[in-house]
Chain A
């Protein structure tokens, strides 16, 4: 079954075509890696898929449902979750509260102005479970401002996973991490069950390659190569894009 299908997706910023007729089909449970040099349009593609940007042409379907015109917030309710390359968290709150906000986003409870949020114990325990999966449950009550960069990357993943998504979009989950921190994030990602389809953008091929089933290479907003790990690595066009040969 197809989890995510994108056809003829096009987006321009002024005169610059950042996404130019992109086709992408990701099977359910697949791990897809999207690579490409800076400015290839990888993050823009994510912003189009999540609905933070509106495309000029093309369609996006999620498990057969056309979501091209669905607002961003509705797509979260349909099972689409993402992380950000530039960490986008709630700096004034604790780690736990950050994850609770992710859980609240899909719950009707978010409109309730009367009950105490601190008393919603089921919410807190679900948030702690999500944090345990990325190895942060022991510092759940720490203020986000007092956490390291690597811990924040894992909070991003915990928030996305707390929403129990069907399709998870990871935007450079290893960016700016030390070797030790990379190992931690890698383990968290490898532990995600196969019910979740993952599309991951990553610059750093070494860490991400063995997580991927298939790889798509983007360049100047277009799909240049797509195939299995071995096929893409062996393809001369990959070398051309990356090494300029």
Chain B
């Protein structure tokens, strides 16, 4: 019963996602939908460390930007789209490895501060090393890639490409969550000392998780570059790192759909609500305060809890009504 309702909900969601360009119409909003999906991939990537690893990073926007900048600069230098994408993934993995080696000397606040500092270094490079990164003017690209000969020039075609990547990311994360390696990472989060005594290499588990997270950051960064055809230092700023961290925390850490819900809220507030409310940051702040007040575990697990509570109350009420003789049916 529960499995069937979950499956039908999943099917409904998939149907909704697949038809977005038809019921949204306006290509601006189709682009917003693409951004929700790519930021969901970004948030899923960060959730690997924050949720399953218990390692709160505040430098992930730096990795996201490394990917976009590498691809953008390679395209400007005359490389093809395939080479630029491969280069972006490789350079981001390398940057993630450096991030991991330096930050995994510590956990908790120490880890957070080191990742923050490393992210700021990358922001500094993007902003001040103008010869390489074109500084504040950013990097723009003239074309989007055409995988398998399909042009991604229109908003709907880019949306579908982003959707495919998002679904692959979601499936990989679902497998990861249930896998022995996922259990190893959660074990290292909950009892690092015990894990070592049981024969696990806790450092290596975290290092590999960092690379896995970095890989999906690079994919999200590439999708961002294709979406905007432009990347600037703002993308790597501390505020961007904080924003994606808020997506993960508000949606629900260590869950599959939490980061997706978080990305949806943030992107919609930023691009849709901002068209009607000038102080949209205030709206976003109120939403976060409401989530933290009523669902401290995050939107997705919190909704599941409240829904289950309401259902039990309703069933209990119906049962009492039935058991009372002479009660109106």
Question: A interface vs B, CB < 8 Å?
Answer: 50, 52, 72-74, 76-77, 81-82, 84, 88-92, 97, 100-102, 104-106, 109-118, 120, 159, 163
Stretch at the interface among B74-82, B103-111, B119-127, B180-188: B180-188
Complexed CA–CA distance, A50 and B200 (Å): 13
The 9 A-B residue pairs whose C-beta atoms are closest, nearest first, are A76-B199, A105-B198, A105-B199, A113-B181, A116-B178, A88-B194, A113-B179, A72-B196, A109-B180
CB <8 Å contact, B212 and A73:
no
CB <8 Å contact, B183 and A76:
no
What are the residues of chain B within 8 A of A104 when measuring CB–CB?
A: 180, 183-184
Q: Which of B182, B193, B196, B201 contacts A117 (CB 8 A)?
A: B182
Within the complex, the shortest CB–CB distance from B47 to chain A, in Å, comes to 15
Within the complex, the shortest CB–CB distance from A49 to chain B, in Å, comes to 11
Complexed CA–CA distance, A76 and B198 (Å): 6
* Residue picked from B183, B191, B196, B198, most chain A C-beta under 10 Å: B198
Instruction: Tell yes or no: B190 within 8 A of A by CB.
Output: yes
What are the residues of chain A within 8 A of B208 when measuring CB–CB?
A: 111
* Residue picked from B194, B199, B212, most chain A C-beta under 10 Å: B199
Determine the residue in chain B with the shortest Cβ distance to A169: B197
CB <8 Å contact, B198 and A88:
no
Complexed CA–CA distance, A153 and B200 (Å): 22
Instruction: Tell yes or no: B175 within 8 A of A by CB.
Output: yes
Within the complex, the shortest CB–CB distance from B142 to chain A, in Å, comes to 38
CB <8 Å contact, A110 and B191:
no
CB <8 Å contact, A106 and B178:
no
Interface residues in B, total, Cβ within 8 A = 25
Complexed CA–CA distance, A163 and B187 (Å): 17
Q: Which of B178, B184, B194, B196 contacts A110 (CB 8 A)?
A: B184
Count A-B contacts at CB 8 Å: 87
Interface contacts beyond A90-B191, A112-B181: sample of 9 additional A-B pairs, CB < 8 Å, sorted by A: A52-B197, A81-B197, A90-B187, A91-B190, A101-B184, A110-B184, A111-B208, A113-B182, A116-B179
Complexed CA–CA distance, A101 and B202 (Å): 13
What are the residues of chain A within 8 A of B181 when measuring CB–CB?
A: 110-113
Complexed CA–CA distance, A97 and B178 (Å): 12
Instruction: Tell yes or no: B195 within 8 A of A by CB.
Output: yes
CB <8 Å contact, A120 and B196:
no
Within the complex, the shortest CB–CB distance from B138 to chain A, in Å, comes to 35
Give residues 86-118 of B contacting A (CB, 8 Å).
none
Q: If A76-B198, A90-B191 touch, does A118 touch B184 (CB 8 Å cutoff)? A: no
Determine the residue in chain A with the shortest Cβ distance to B194: A88
Determine the residue in chain B with the shortest Cβ distance to A91: B190
Instruction: Tell yes or no: B294 within 8 A of A by CB.
Output: no
What are the residues of chain A within 8 A of B129 when measuring CB–CB?
A: none
Complexed CA–CA distance, A50 and B195 (Å): 13
CB <8 Å contact, A92 and B178:
no
What are the residues of chain B within 8 A of A74 when measuring CB–CB?
A: 199
What are the residues of chain A within 8 A of B196 when measuring CB–CB?
A: 52, 72-73
Q: If A88-B191, A90-B191 touch, does A115 touch B198 (CB 8 Å cutoff)? A: no
Instruction: Tell yes or no: B271 within 8 A of A by CB.
Output: no
Complexed CA–CA distance, A76 and B200 (Å): 9
Instruction: Tell yes or no: B176 within 8 A of A by CB.
Output: yes
CB <8 Å contact, B179 and A114:
yes
Interface string of B25-55 (1 = CB under 8 A from A): 0000000000000000000000000000000
What are the residues of chain B within 8 A of A163 when measuring CB–CB?
A: 198-199
What are the residues of chain B within 8 A of A116 when measuring CB–CB?
A: 175, 178-179
Complexed CA–CA distance, A163 and B197 (Å): 11
Q: If A104-B184, A105-B200 touch, does A113 touch B194 (CB 8 Å cutoff)? A: no
